Amino acid sequence: MSSIASSKAHAYYGASYADLEAQDPEIAAILQSELERERHGLQLIASENFTSPAVLAALGSTLSNKYAEGYPGKRYYGGCEEVDKAETIGIERAKKLFGAEHANLQPHSGASANIAVYQAFTKPGDTVLAMSLPHGGHLTHGSKVNFSGKWFNVESYGVREDNELIDYDELRDLAIKHKPKMICSGATAYPSLIDFKVVRDICDEAGAIMWVDAAHFIGLVAGKAIPSPVPYADVVSFTTHKVLRGPRGGMILSKAEHAAAIDKSIFPGMQGGPIMSAVAAKAVNLKECATPEYQNYAKTVIINAQALAAALVDEGMRAVSGGTQTHLALIDVRALGVTGKEADERCGAAGITLNKNSIPYDPLAPSITSGIRVGTPSVTTQGMGTKEMKSIASLISRAITKPESAKAISAEVAQLCEAFPVYPEN
């Protein structure tokens, strides 16, 4: 304990690893093995990334100790001078980066941000229109096992069967028929762009709040690689740990007229004290996102996703909606004679981490599925490019069709990953 209070280095994560190792070797060893896992396997989960050492430093800092219920300058606890500065800097950076009128950095997660959005604009029993789960919507968009489906009347829209793109005519018809309080756009497995101007028009016609759940693609917006929903939406909620590459957490942007409702909904509405180490880490991430390097990253993520989807098609698979305009692709694997579950398991055995995923109008159950979802945020952070995407497609194809070669393939996977080191030692 004696060394912890004194050294400046102990305000940060890295230097305190030795303390952890001495005090709790069991957990320290797990941290080390996880780092090795991230280094030696291919991380293709579309919602994951490798956040920066600077973000990890803020996350592992003594700001974790501080209670700060309330907002900067209006706290319910003393001693908030330092954390107030961090949160204020973060809010200003978020507003500037996204051109938003209001920002709240306190949501603990994407789901927490969404609970706050429901609470700010609706009452239990109200009707909300959101993307259907089997077509890519999130659990918090009305799943029967989630608060959203239990407490609200959630109607769903989906994609057209012929082109697997959002059916805006159906969306308009449903909006006029059900008169929802709020319309949600955004998904977890939709590879195409959303036309926010059309959604705004539909919301205006139906008198609905326009809510965009941008969890997946907000990083591409931050990097100016795709159009932003911020000018159109009343409220935009998102996670900070996906393409955005910040700490695990959530954030909400809104028009100024909704600022008080959003802030009250987070605290005291559904959270207590914010996790100030995470709030500071969000500020660090937002500074990174404003750089030309990050903008280049966001564009490369999309180029890589398009190259990966095209290469998987060359390997005999089918890309849902013909490809991707974002960081992820949804791949129908049935032509290789496997289900999504089998493809997921066989890739896992070969050191390739991805997830099974329903495809639109999937004839198989959500626990089996006909597809896989692949994303390029992590491999792009590692520095891989289109040449490596071709190699990855070939590795995926061999892992699926030659499960008996899993060991040999995983050695090739490790070799590829070691050429693009994650968190290099120096």
Residues classed as catalytic: 67, 69, 213, 239, 242, 248
Shortest Cβ 143–ligand PLP spacing (Å):
11
Query: H or E segment at 253?
Result: strand 250-254
Q: In the sheet where 371-375 sits, what is the strand order? A: 318-319, 328-332, 371-375, 355-357
In contact, 135 and 371? CB cutoff 8 Å: no
Shortest Cβ 248–ligand PLP spacing (Å):
7
Residue nearest to ligand PLP (CB): 110
Q: Compose the 42-61 pattern: x for residues touching ligand PLP by CB under 6 A, - for all others.
A: -----x--------------
Residue ranges with strand state E in 152-239: 153-157, 182-185, 209-213, 235-239
Shortest Cβ 333–ligand PLP spacing (Å):
22
Task: Tell me which residues in 249-308 interact with ligand PLP (CB under 6 A).
Answer: 250
Q: Which stretch binds ligand PLP (CB under 6 A): 8-16, 182-190, 303-311, 370-378?
A: 182-190
Please state, in angstroms and as integers, the Cα–Cα distance from residue 152 to each residue in 41, 129, 174, 206, 381, following that order.
Answer: 41, 10, 16, 18, 39
Task: Tell me which residues in 407-426 interact with ligand PLP (CB under 6 A).
Answer: none
Q: Please count the other Cβ atoms lying within 10 Å of the Cβ belonging to residue 367.
A: 10
Does 140 sit near ligand PLP (CB under 6 A)?
Answer: yes
Tokens (6 digits) for 41: 């396997």
Q: Please count the other Cβ atoms lying within 10 Å of the Cβ belonging to residue 35.
A: 12
Residues that contact ligand PLP, how many (by CB under 6 A): 15
Give the whole-angstrom CA distance, residue 86 versus residue 68: 12
- Give the residue, chosen from 83, 171, 199, 215, that forms a contact with ligand PLP under the rule CB under 6 A: 215
Give the whole-angstrom CA distance, residue 250 versus residue 259: 16
Shortest Cβ 227–ligand PLP spacing (Å):
17
Tokens (6 digits) for 192: 């195409």
Give the whole-angstrom CA distance, residue 201 versus residue 220: 23
Instruction: Pick the closer one to ligand PLP by CB: 216 or 356.
Output: 216
Q: How far is CA 131 from the centre of its chain?
A: 17
Does 188 sit near ligand PLP (CB under 6 A)?
Answer: yes
Q: Which stretch binds ligand PLP (CB under 6 A): 32-40, 213-221, 307-315, 403-411?
A: 213-221
List all residues 6 or more positions away from 36 whose beta carbon is below 8 Å from its beta carbon.
none
- Give the residue, chosen from 56, 111, 233, 352, that forms a contact with ligand PLP under the rule CB under 6 A: 111
Q: Which stretch binds ligand PLP (CB under 6 A): 16-24, 88-96, 211-219, 222-230?
A: 211-219
Q: Which stretch binds ligand PLP (CB under 6 A): 24-32, 147-155, 184-192, 310-318?
A: 184-192
List all residues 6 or more positions away from 241 whose beta carbon is below 8 Å from its beta carbon.
47, 48, 49, 51, 247, 248, 249
Instruction: Pick the closer one to ligand PLP by CB: 215 or 417.
Output: 215
Instruction: Pick the closer one to ligand PLP by CB: 109 or 386.
Output: 109
In contact, 334 and 364? CB cutoff 8 Å: no
Does 216 sit near ligand PLP (CB under 6 A)?
Answer: yes
Shortest Cβ 193–ligand PLP spacing (Å):
15
- Give the residue, chosen from 41, 60, 110, 360, that forms a contact with ligand PLP under the rule CB under 6 A: 110
Shortest Cβ 90–ligand PLP spacing (Å):
18
Closest CA to 97 of 297, 244, 196, 241: 244
Contact residues for ligand PLP, defined by CB under 6 A: 47, 109-111, 114, 138, 140, 186-188, 213, 215-216, 239, 250
